[in-house]
A and B are shown apart, each in its own frame.
Chain A
């Protein structure tokens, strides 16, 4: 190798090492900055779980940006001049390589230049790149590694609302409560059992609805409608249970008139149709051993039972009738076959009844799930991810009869002096709203003024199909027309005025007297609505 080649080869080695070290440092630092985003997002996810779509979009943008950054840094190459300058500095060569490289690129006929290049080549040869530019792990790489570890650990934090992003899991768009999940499981089990009894693919449909709901493809209202459809499908082809029961009862009574058919009748009365079928089969086997009187008696009983043709029992009645006719005509073989057919009909009926029961139970569960979803749809303030409704405040438990739009406010710290109100819904359904005694002032000798900590606790909300009707009471001048909602204006929007402490000239004792609560809280809405009802309207007053 010539002196020039030695120098250039050395500079190339130096340039590669500088680039590698630079890349490692820059990528470590870049990773440090870029990792901060997913780490913070994951931490935020633990507080407020994010949906899969959100996580996917952020992750996609993150990957693109990081890839762009890596590409940008990788394509940046240093020049050999820069390598020469750096090597001079690192090896203390005082611009020897830089000068030599310049003279290599700009040759001139000079012994001094040749000598200079020769000296530089000797220096370049003795240069150890590993010593001048050792491969070291930058501190940022340790931090970046630690951040990756923390990120991975955060994904595996055993919290119920934590989702492992690494396993492509994220918070669903709609979270079911534990109660709803339990209902769902029970429903699915029931539907599967019903499916074993020759039922449809409703389980899959239900799972599909829940999946779509969790993915945010449909909202709770749409889910409720789809559950309605499932309910309708479950109800399709329902047996008329009462008619069948009555029919079976009547048939049993008819069959009980015959001694041979009594066990069968007993089983039918007990709705043990499989047992009844077995009894019929036993009877059919012993048909030849019966006396003519017994056969006649049996034929009569079967004939009477066959006359009872209720909906759903037509086939059974037909078989019993055939059996009776065959017995009458002494066709033992055919009679046995008819009894066997009747036994099969009983078994079939038993299976249908069982399936019907399961479907009814499933339908009930679906109804509960539907109601729960509808209720949550009306409560936008609920914490979607955790499925927990937090009634905040310093001591005020949000009443169940509260308006839906009050829910969000219910999660805010309650004002100690604010007075509770009976809600619209409570008023309509006759459920008393929580009337919170107000008044922060006073001596505290009288009840009230403590932010509603003594407010009565209510049980779970119940849905009543019956609404209390506004009764016309004596003195009502408008014939029971809907009373004017005097609070409507104030409900249009929140007051923009701050609460102020209104000074009063009253003594504390007087205030306490004014704040006395002598009317039980549960009667307040009733009293209020009474006085609103008898209040003369403005129209009447004008007259």
Chain B
């Protein structure tokens, strides 16, 4: 049985590596972002990529959809985008007898991978159209609920909130993203590689290396990884430390945080930890996994207080304080 598990782990690692390698053919210098995106997919979550325009966020998502045998759709969020433009709507149809009837026309959300590009450019009303789909993997139009295909994976990109013409995502929607990944400027070496690849006559082609079944199998493997109670306790204490309440909160949380993470934060830590353990050829989650994922899993779940916003405190600073303040189980 042990060898079967080992094979399962090896297969998982190989498949993960294949996807990453294919994406890396197009996306240069964002190894950690690629890892985060794939991990979000395997964790049955959604990912929010934040970065200024032109850093390759959209390219990353579209490339990822290219390397998988999955149905992909893209929605460009704009201020005049309506919810029905995402979910779909009932339209009047006429049959052969000339009788008119309403037929549901599926929106772009009915895909395996949905790219919600510049999601914070749409109004909150439109942004909220994603809520049900992201959490329950279904869309309700009128009195009818339509199930979405599995896997369902939303990759949203957003510009930093300080930019003109953007609407901050509501807390409820932010909480539905398992990770929020910050896309920073690539290094000079990476830029050289990007220019070399994108300024030639032939752009790099990617192959489809993963199908729907394999993705689902990988998700199943992830959830089989055991986690010991002390490590899980560590994840919970970190999540609880984001709340400005004793006894877990450090001084930074008490001062600058209005609301902390929901239990989804702890879920993200644990499930992400399991994926990371498999990628590191381990059959258990370690505290190191939890720490490594804390920023991506919690930074969008920590809502700053007035003082925090006034002093322009970065949530990553608070998470760093939490990690320093929370001792590992001995």
A-B complex is real:
yes
Residues of A within 8 A of B (CB): 81-82, 85-86, 94-96, 98-100, 102-103, 106, 108, 110-116, 118-119
Q: Are B282 and A98 in contact (CB under 8 A)?
A: no
B228 at interface, CB cutoff 8 A: yes
Q: Report the minimum CB–CB distance from B279 to chain A (whole Å).
A: 13
| Minimum CB distance partner of B3 in chain A | A115
CB of A308, distance to nearest CB on chain B (Å): 109
* Contact of A103 (CB < 8 Å), options: B224, B225, B226, B286: B226
Using a CB–CB cutoff of 8 Å, the interface residues on chain B facing chain A are: 1-2, 4-6, 224-231, 280, 282-288, 328-330
Residues of A within 8 A of B5 (CB): 111-112, 115
> In chain A, what residue has the closest Cβ to B290?
A95
Besides A98-B329, A116-B226, A118-B2, 6 other A-B contacts (C-beta < 8 A):
A85-B330, A95-B288, A99-B231, A111-B2, A112-B226, A115-B6
B contact residues around A114 at 8 Å (CB): 1-2
B2–A96 touching, CB < 8 Å: no
CB within 8 Å for A95 and B224 given contacts A85-B328, A102-B230: no
In contact, A102 and B330 (Cβ under 8 angstroms): no
Whether the pair A115, B2 counts as a contact (CB closer than 8 A) is yes
Which 4 A-B pairs give the minimum distances between C-beta atoms?
A95-B286, A99-B228, A102-B228, A94-B286
Q: Could you say which residues of chain B place their CB within 8 Å of the CB of A99? A: 226-228, 230-231, 284-286
Q: Is the interface of A mostly helix, strand, loop or mixed?
A: helix
CB within 8 Å for A116 and B330 given contacts A102-B229, A103-B226, A103-B228: no
Once the chains are docked, how many angstroms separate the CA of A95 from the CA of B330? 10
CA distance A115 to B228 in the complex (A): 14
Residue among A85, A86, A110 with the highest chain B CB neighbour number at 10 A: A85
Residue contact A96 to B282, C-beta cutoff 8 Å: yes
Minimal beta-carbon separation of B78 from chain A (angstroms):
46
CB pair A110–B229 under 8 Å, yes or no, is no
Residues in A neighbouring B4, C-beta threshold 8 A: 111
Residues of B within 8 A of A113 (CB): 226
A106 — which chain B residues lie within 8 A by C-beta? Answer: 229
Query: Is A95 in contact with B229, judged by CB distance below 8 angstroms?
Result: no
The distance in angstroms between the C-alpha atoms of A81 and B230, with both chains bound, is 10
Q: Judging by beta carbons under 8 Å apart, are A116 and B1 in contact?
A: no
Give 27 pairs: A residue, B residue, CB < 8 Å, sorted on A.
A81-B230, A81-B330, A82-B330, A86-B330, A94-B280, A94-B282, A94-B288, A95-B231, A96-B282, A96-B284, A98-B228, A99-B227, A100-B284, A102-B229, A103-B226, A106-B229, A110-B224, A111-B2, A111-B5, A112-B5, A112-B224, A115-B2, A115-B5, A115-B283, A116-B226, A116-B283, A116-B284
Q: Name the residue of chain A whose CB is nearest to the CB of B229.
A: A102
Residues of the B chain whose Cβ atoms lie less than 8 Å from the Cβ of A111: 1-2, 4-5
In the complex, are the beta carbons of B226 and A95 less than 8 A apart? Answer: no
Asked if B287 and A115 sit within 8 Å, CB to CB, the answer is no
The chain A residue with its CB closest to the CB of B330 is: A85
Q: A110 near B228 (CB under 8 angstroms)?
A: no
Residue in chain B with minimal CB distance to A81: B330
The answer for the CA separation of A219 and B35 in the assembled complex, in Å, is 90
Residues of A within 8 A of B225 (CB): 112
Q: Report the minimal beta-carbon distance from B266 to chain A, rounded to whole angstroms.
A: 17
A95, A103, A116: most-surrounded residue (chain B CB, <10 A) = A95
Q: Are B228 and A95 touching (Cβ within 8 A)?
A: yes
Which residue of chain B has its CB nearest to the CB of A82? B330
- From A86, A99, A106, residue with most partner B Cβ within 10 Å: A99
Q: Is the CB of B283 within 8 A of A112?
A: yes
Interface centre among B280, B283, B284, B329 (most CB of A within 10 A): B284
Q: In whole angstroms, how far apart are the Cα atoms of A100 and B283 in the complex?
A: 10
Which residue in chain B gives the minimum CB-CB distance to A94?
A: B286
CB contacts (< 8 Å) of B224 on chain A: these are: 110, 112
CB distance from A127 to the nearest CB of B (A): 17
Complex Cα gap A124–B329 (Å):
20
Instruction: For A110, give the chain B residue with the smallest CB separation.
Output: B226
Residues on A with C-beta less than 8 A from B330 are: 81-82, 85-86
CB pair B283–A119 under 8 Å, yes or no, is yes
Taken together as a complex, chains A and B put the C-alpha atoms of A99 and B227 apart, in Å, by 7
The answer for the CA separation of A85 and B288 in the assembled complex, in Å, is: 13
Across-interface contacts of B229 in A (CB, < 8 A): 102, 106
| Residues B329 and A85 in contact, CB atoms below 8 Å apart | yes
User: Judging by beta carbons under 8 Å apart, are B226 and A98 in contact?
Assistant: no
Tell me if A115 and B328 are in contact (CB < 8 A): no
The interface residues of chain B lying within 8 Å CB-to-CB of A112 are 5, 224-226, 283
Q: Which residue of B lies closest to A118 (CB)?
A: B2
User: B2 to chain A: which residues have CB within 8 Å?
Assistant: 111, 114-115, 118
| A60 CB to nearest B CB, Å | 39
The answer to whether B1 and A115 touch across the interface, beta carbons within 8 angstroms, is yes
How distant is the Cα of A398 from the Cα of B110 in the complex, in angstroms? 113
For the complex formed, measure the closest distance between the CB of B226 and the CB atoms of chain A, giving whole angstroms.
Answer: 5
Task: Determine the chain B residues whose CB is within 8 A of the CB of A96 once the complex forms.
Answer: 282, 284, 286
Whole-angstrom CA separation of A461 from B161 in the bound complex = 102
Least CB separation from B6: chain A residue: A115
Residues of B within 8 Å of A119, CB to CB, are 283
Bound Cα distance from A114 to B5, whole angstroms: 10
Q: Is the CB of A95 within 8 A of B287?
A: yes
Give the distance in Å from the alpha carbon of A85 to the alpha carbon of B231 in the complex. 11
Give the complex CA separation of A111 and B283 in angstroms: 11
Closest chain A residue to B8 by CB distance?
Answer: A112
B228 shortest CB reach to chain A, Å: 4
> Nearest chain-A residue to B9 (Cβ)?
A115
Chain B's nearest CB lies how many Å from the CB of A315?
A: 100
- Determine how close the nearest CB of chain B comes to the CB of A507; give it in whole angstroms: 77
Q: Which residues of A contact B230 (CB under 8 A)?
A: 81, 98-99, 102
Q: In the docked arrangement, what's the CA distance between A358 and B5, Å? A: 109
Q: With the chains together, A111 CA to B228 CA distance in Å? A: 15
**Distance in angstroms between the alpha carbons of A111 and B2 in the assembled complex:** 7
User: Whose C-beta in chain B lies nearest to the C-beta of A120?
Assistant: B284
Q: Name the distance in Å between B13's Cβ and chain A's nearest Cβ.
A: 15
Could you say which residues of chain A place their CB within 8 Å of the CB of B288?
A: 94-95
In Å, the complex CA distance between A138 and B4 comes to 48
The closest CB in chain B to the CB of A113 belongs to B226
In the complex, what's the smallest C-beta–C-beta distance from B127 to chain A, in angstroms? 39
Which chain B positions have C-beta within 8 A of A108?
Answer: 226
